[in-house]
A and B are shown apart, each in its own frame.
Chain A
């Protein structure tokens, strides 16, 4: 699962040398404990090609036989520790659909200098085929390992296995030596293919403390932490040509942790899952503290008050918000001279939203000084929303950044002040006594509206008192109101007017769609969905550019039934739900919808002249789990009129997997009911 490696360490300046701090360690001579290895590299026998396991069914194209990783700290010759990460993996490729699994990418992180970059070593790889009962081995030539530059901070070593045949076994191992303490590699136990044994061992010297995040629903087979007394030998190089190098032994009770899972099923993605990362079994490490001596411990994870304070003083985050930022003084007087604070805040928000481009919605530090963002008109999500905050502050507002992790980035541990859990920032502004959360990074988002992806339970205000703000999807309601009024026209036939006011997310989607479409194109699209006897004209789109308002679409519709004896009339015109959003019959993980829903459709129609109602759909009220959802479809009729009201409520966004069946049935019922027609019959003369 190495390709799923997602930690994003901030590499520049994260390395703290022991020499620089001039810290002394006490000396010990005891030897370090030995670790055991399971399967041996290069030892593949004919029996290894016969694999049975409860998690291997006929659909698995590949099986991970063994995936074993470890990280150990080793004293080095530059007065420091090196993190030694090893991975060994053996995969059975059952058929050629799994051959993609034989191309491996290993990310390698670079520091500022060659000296501080990670090193890829001890690489070995081989393919094994079973031919006539004999195992043949083909070694991968080390020259066939390519290096690709990904960006300034990362390269990738990549290779593919030779001589693959269906049913072959491949295995590889390598070591990455890293100077970056903050980059203790994560481990994922679950992936695209079933895995018979996944194991990760970590040996951490006593002075290092890591905060460990565990995710996933599968229980661990081995889950242990032991203390082992260890000596680390570190050579402190000579400070200058006149002194000699020094050799120290650092000793203490190292923490030895081991996690393993036997028989891990393949991970299957499902719709309405905010992030697979919330459910895949994995272990992540976040550097919490280093104890350099009995009386000096450097804290990397602190409480939120200290962390927020540091963030506010970090040149790559909040420090520039404290400056006067006089370069902002050239802001248009139309904005700066606005007397009403709310109007002014809106103008500032719109200025940033309409003039700046966000080119990366996944970041947790500034990519450049705010002034540069101001000049180049582009930056990542932190650049944009911190610039917005800076302008607010410059204009005398009380504004602060808010950190959050988007839904697609996974849940966070709210109480732990670990910054690289976060990947997004908003701006929070106080006007009079009200707070507004703002995101200026999307072109068509209204004031106070946030993308769905931000509703991942909570955000953290970066302020002296770093409070949590709630961003629960349950608090988000997508409301839609539609009406259709129909009367008898003067020239026979029916004439109607249709009007729909959409929820904010649907409004946003239509606005995005209308970038590429003309009004005429939308009219054509609406016409395509209509029954042959319905003619649409006079399309109006209101609030297309007023992003704070919901979008409204109106049109006139006429029906000409050509004197048919029987008229079949769809009461929802083209607004009926056509496809069940839940296609799969089964569900493994909870259902996470982005918001709650409230939709109303009202029909008020005159009965066509010369006709009577022959059949009306039966009125119903259908409840989902008593209070969690409701569908109402109510008809009434008088001698002149037919009226209908259709209401769909989904009152919560998250459902347990046990509720999946009822939820799917609920939608299925709506679709079936909404397909029913009103039938009018001609009055026989």
Chain B
């Protein structure tokens, strides 16, 4: 019997490797607008038990041109909680002939330098054939062994723009009686369900092209999320069929980690005892945290999910987002204020929380102090942010608040156009030699103060000067004075003062003088009119700009051409610009309001027109002629 079995295995193996990677076999429709084509993919997730998951992955991608090279590199992570082995791969030429194979010693092994953490135990294995003869095909195969079911690898067969998929299959095997949850996005295809497995397949998916203001790639590409029911992870067990249960795991992880040393307890009481008002107390303790801790990431094993305890932070005065949030919750608890640890997906481009499908979408932790309708949100890794302000990093999104009974989905604050204001007053003088000197006072609030906030707190004076001397759209200039004043609050405010000197800003030697009076706030976007718009249009945030500009000119000029006032008020936004000339004074008032909004693709030609109008009006030029003497 034995030799016979081997024969079967061999022939099976042969059948698998005899895949046809001839590039001529790719349908033309998949080559259109594509830089790379996924020829085949077999993504096989096998849940052996709650604490053992095997993931066998095999795929082949044809790289059509140089732009597709980014998909030619193999890269996968491993850590103490997830092993990675059996990496193999082959390189094929355009005709499908194998020309090279992966050699073990050519696989590089590097640490993940995330630029933030002091120590991580995650490392990456990488390989690249560095082929340069297009088209070519790479084929890779590997196996991962996860010690737990907390993260189940979901399926994202389309890896980016200008990337088509000939065939990709995702199979998940579960133990008998195991309840698998799944959620499909942008695909109507139902899984093929057999006794212990679920399978999805994507075939002949045409390449997507990038479009300005479209929704994020994740929300337009087909994918399947899977989630465990009962799970095990790093020695802990739990259930995540509901958000409430999901959160219970964090309750367990954080249990007993909120004990403060006595000296810190005393400090808390010294700071807030006798202070009336919850909000004031929260502010004092948050500022105490900011003053006394800093961000240092050390994430080893389960330490990637479990915070260092409050005592550790109290002693070392550092921690990561988990440790610092846990510490903040502990400080507030000591002051008799209930606060919660909140799991969130921060930044942009990261996966959004799907409320109807509990799973781990998160990459960050913040703190929430419930306060009726007016919860106070705290970013514990920042030493400078205002208490209660989330901004663009964590604002306007769903998050998971951990309470004693488990997890609860909550929303972080949304900021309106009025909250995100930039109001700028410019007083400029152009002297007889054409030099410009301007006092620029800018009042920035909400997300529009984030840049100024970081210029104030995170940049050295040298970096700030360097930035300011490159930021303005003037040919040669110098910011000779700069000054910042911050007013903290739920909607923080920064008042910026700049004194700008631009020598030879205009030429006064000739007969005429040309001035674009909208000095600093010009729309730079021009959309292409001839595009076939496929996806909807999304403005993801709201803001308001008001510019009040006063320019004094040298005397002795008459106006030759004055631009027309422009005013637009439609779904896309409200915009107006007005010009006024009195003697040798120019006055301009520009207002722009843009709201978070969503439009169907067929509105695109209107959008093009809208931006064209703004572009033209913002670049309006005034021409003066020397008075005949």
Contacts and interface: CB of A to CB of B under 8 A. Distances in A.
Interface of A: 59, 61, 96-97, 99, 103, 138, 146, 148-150, 158, 160, 162-166, 268, 354-357, 359, 375-378, 443, 515-516, 524, 527-528, 532, 566, 568, 577-580, 583-585, 614-615, 617-618, 664, 667-669, 671-673, 675-677, 679
A173 B133 CA distance: 53
Contacts of A149: 111
Contacts of A664: 476
Contact of A376 (B100, B317, B383): B100
The B interface, classified by DSSP as helix, strand, loop or mixed, is: mixed
Contacts of B458: 97
A566 B294 contact: no
B617 to A, nearest CB: 11
B128 interface: yes
23 contacts: A149-B111, A158-B119, A160-B118, A160-B296, A162-B315, A164-B317, A164-B318, A268-B462, A354-B132, A355-B132, A355-B133, A357-B130, A378-B130, A516-B67, A579-B476, A615-B511, A615-B512, A618-B509, A668-B476, A668-B503, A671-B476, A675-B475, A676-B510
Given A59-B462, A268-B462, A355-B132, A585 B478 contact: yes
A357 B129 CA distance: 9
Given A165-B317, A667-B476, A679 B460 contact: no
Given A160-B318, A359-B130, A378-B130, A515 B67 contact: yes
Contacts of B476: 579-580, 664, 667-668, 671-672
Contacts of B100: 375-376
Interface in B79-97: none
B317 A163 contact: yes
Contacts, number: 121
A566 B469 contact: no
Interface string B485-510: 00000000000000000011001011
The A interface, classified by DSSP as helix, strand, loop or mixed, is: mixed
A96 B383 contact: yes
Contacts of A359: 128, 130
B318 A568 contact: no
Contacts of A97: 457-458, 460
A148 B118 CA distance: 10
Nearest to A677: B514
B470 A583 contact: yes
A533 B526 CA distance: 15
A677 B294 CA distance: 56
A378 B69 CA distance: 14
Interface residues of B, number: 50
A148 B111 contact: yes
Contacts of B462: 59, 268
B144 to A, nearest CB: 21
Q: Which of A165, A359, A375, A583 has the most CB of B within 10 A?
A: A583
Q: Which of A356, A375, A584, A672 has the most CB of B within 10 A?
A: A672
A99 B292 CA distance: 12
A103 B466 CA distance: 26
A679 B512 contact: yes
B346 to A, nearest CB: 21
B623 interface: yes
A146 B118 contact: yes
Q: Which of B316, B458, B510 has the most CB of A within 10 A?
A: B316
Contacts of A527: 526
Nearest to B514: A677
B460 A61 contact: yes
A162 B318 contact: yes
Contact of B511 (A150, A354, A614, A673): A614
Contact of B510 (A138, A150, A617): A617
B510 A524 contact: no
B475 A356 contact: no
A103 B119 contact: no
Given A59-B461, A357-B130, A566 B616 contact: no
Contacts of A524: 528
B470 A532 contact: no
B564 to A, nearest CB: 13
A566 B318 CA distance: 67
A59 B460 contact: yes
Contacts of B623: 566, 568
A588 B526 CA distance: 41
Given A61-B460, A162-B316, A617-B510, 7 more contacts: A146-B119, A268-B462, A377-B131, A614-B511, A669-B504, A676-B510, A679-B512
B565 interface: no
Contacts of B280: none
B560 interface: yes
4 closest A-B pairs by beta carbon, nearest first, are: A357-B130, A378-B130, A672-B504, A162-B316
Contacts of B511: 614-615, 679
Contact of B616 (A150, A356, A532, A679): A532
Contacts of B560: 566
A583 B130 contact: no
Interface in B301-317: 315-317
Contacts of A158: 118-119
A201 to B, nearest CB: 31
B275 interface: no
B106 interface: yes
